[in-house]
Each structure stands twice: as C-alpha cells, then as structure tokens.
Amino acid sequence: MSDTVKKVAPEGYVSGKYAVGTKCFSIVDAGRKEILGGGNGERKIAVRMYYPVDKADIAGKERGAIFSDTKKAAVMKAFHIRKVSDEMNFADYYENAPIAASQTFPLIMFSMGYNSYVESNTYLLCALASQGYIIASVGHAFEAVENDYEDGSVDFYDKKINKMMYTSMIGAVMNQNKLLKKKLDFGEAVEQFEIFQNKFTPYIKGRIIEWKKDTEKALEAVKKKYSENIDFSRGIGASGHSLGGCLAYNLCRYNDEFSCGINIDGGLFGDYPENTMEKPFCQISCKENVNVETRPFLNTNADTYHVVFDDMKHLGFTDAKFYIPLKSLSGKLNSEEMFRHLVYCHTAFFDKYLKGSDIAFEGIPSDKITYRKIV
C-alpha cells in the first residue's frame, strides 16, 4: 500500500482534562480449549487499558509505544508498509502511569475488528480516556494480526481461518455486493442479511459467541484489577469496530452488566431471537454498508441512533485512516473530520448514558455525516 508511512496523528486527540495512561495484561481462560492456531492449550486473551491520569503525574515521562517490535513487523507485513515512522509508533499515552485519584470513572469495553489488532483505535480510545473514561481493549487470540502476552509469548493471525470464513468466497462476495446495493427497508435488510450469513458465513456467526466469552473473561479481570477506580452506577459501555462492533450489540442484548453500546460499521452477525432490546444503542455506518447493519433499529424500545458517513470506507474508522493513503480502502472523507465525528459520537453518547449528562445526542453539523434518532 505504501513504501513509507508519513503518519500525522489527529490534531489534539487527547483534548480532555486528563492525560492518558496505558497498561497491558493478559489472562488465560482456564478450562476453555483453544481451537485455533493448532488447537494447543487454553484460550488466552490480551488486554490493553486506557485510562485518565492527572497531568502532573506524567511530568518527565516519555510517551508509550503503540507497537511492540513483533507487532510492528506483523502490521507492516499485513498492510504492506515498508517503514514505520517514529510518530506512527508512539501515542500520547504513558505506560503504567497512575490512574487519576480524584474520582471513579465509567468503564467501556472495546473490541477490534477481525484480523486487526488491539491498538487499532488508539487515537479514539486515548480521546475517551482524556475525557474521563476507563477503556479496556480486548485482543482475540489468533484472530488479530498479532497479540502480545505478559509471559512473553505471541500469536499471529491463523491463516487457516481464511478457508473456514466462507462456505464460498466467490459466492459470499457476489451476494454481499448485491445485498449492499439494494434499496431495502430495515426489516427487509435484516431478513436478507440473515439468509446471507446462514448460507455463506456460519463460521463468522459462530465467532461472536467466542468473542463474547473473551470479553466477559476480560471484564472479570478488569473488575478485579480496577474496581476501586470504576464507576459502575450506570452500568458498563461497549464499543468496537467491525466484528467488534457487532460484539458490542451482542453484549448489550445478552449481558445485563452492559447498559449501552456503539457499533462502528459492523455487520450484525449472530443469532438474535426476537426479544426486545432495552438499552440505548448507536449504530455508526459508512453509507455503503447500511444494509448489513439495520438490526439495531428493530425490536427496540430504547433510544437508538444511526450515524451515516458519506465518502467513507470500512477500514477508515480505525487509525489506518491516518496511515493508509489509498482512498479505496480508507475513504475520501477528510481524516480529521471523520475523527472529530467519531469522537463526538462516543463522548456525547457515553456522557449521556454512562455519566448521566442531560445534553442531547444530536450530532455536529456536516454535509458528509447524517445523524438520526430512530427510536
């Protein structure tokens, strides 16, 4: 894609009253056998925390790296990048800085997209942490570009998944393209996507169950490590990109600890019996993907929002928007405008439903992004 990355981070992405700390840890889900990567041992889960830090506590400290050397090499290979600049490799966060002691903060569980990596939305999660949120980003073993673990081990994307992912890759691509181009109402789109996933992507549909288990196990560990720093009074928020966004919806539907969520351009894979959704939800979509993302608008009696981005591509909702120059992959929409609205969607939504703000979630003016309240 690019010989040399000349990355520029979004302007002022750490704009809140707090600096941002980060810490990684990993867990083993004892008794849960790993079926990927050769099927050896028990399922491992990688977690990176983003959290508020008093600015006085970062004096003299150096910014933390986004990528380990192993992860950097894996990302470079996956995205065909010859060189990673120092600016791309570091974020405005600080390893192991102390969490701000002034108060407790709401918790958001975040999940990456398939074959992505834990830090894929570092800028967004730093922005949220600076505004007073604790975020745990969860890595899924053998389904990320690369995962690092506390014991020094790593795992890489299991390429055998590529053969399991579709019953027919050609059939899936052709039928998905047809589905995305049709003019359908919300109900018709859900019905046709249900047919599509059952016929062509039963493997992906099944992975939602496993990712839910990963996140719930990670949540157990987060609560043990950080319970005194977390405000649970309004529940826990969920967000994620792509399949991680689908997971956010699934968690809100089927886990009582989660009180609200955001799906960043994820198709709604999985089984969803026709019970009613009782929790606020925001669906973010690039315009071309709307027909696979309409499920949140049906069978709900909670506040439900739809934010549609024109001139955007799926990958552009991650940090890749700032280092992949190909518009066919990241979209034509200006990267700073995309990021400004993505941050607004998260801060305004979670401020309302996790912090109890009385400010309406109405959007910010743009001729490229449309905000609608569906319910």
Establish if 177 belongs to a structural domain.
no
Establish if 79 belongs to a structural domain.
yes
Establish if 173 belongs to a structural domain.
no
* Span 244-284, pLDDT tens digits: 999 999 999 999 999 999 999 999 999 998 789 999 999 99
Identify the pLDDT of residue 79: 84
Establish if 128 belongs to a structural domain.
yes
Establish if 74 belongs to a structural domain.
yes
| Domain membership of residue 277 as a residue range | 2-160+182-193+203-373
**Residue 96's CATH number:** 3.40.50.1820
Phi, psi of 120 (to 5 degrees): -60, -25
Identify the pLDDT of residue 4: 47
Establish if 198 belongs to a structural domain.
no
Identify the pLDDT of residue 7: 55
Q: Which amino acid, one-letter code, is at 205?
A: K
The 10 Å CB-count burial string (b at 16+, else e) for 122-148 is bbbbbbbbbbbbbbbbbbbbbbbbbbb
In terms of Cβ atoms closer than 10 Å to its own Cβ (0-12, 13-18, 19+), residue 358 is exposed
Regions of the chain short of the pLDDT cut 50: 1-5
Identify the pLDDT of residue 2: 44
Quote the CA–CA distance of 321 and 330 in Å, as a whole number: 5
Establish if 169 belongs to a structural domain.
no
pTM across the whole model: 0.96
Q: Which of 124, 62, 152, 39 is nearest to 318 (CA)?
A: 124
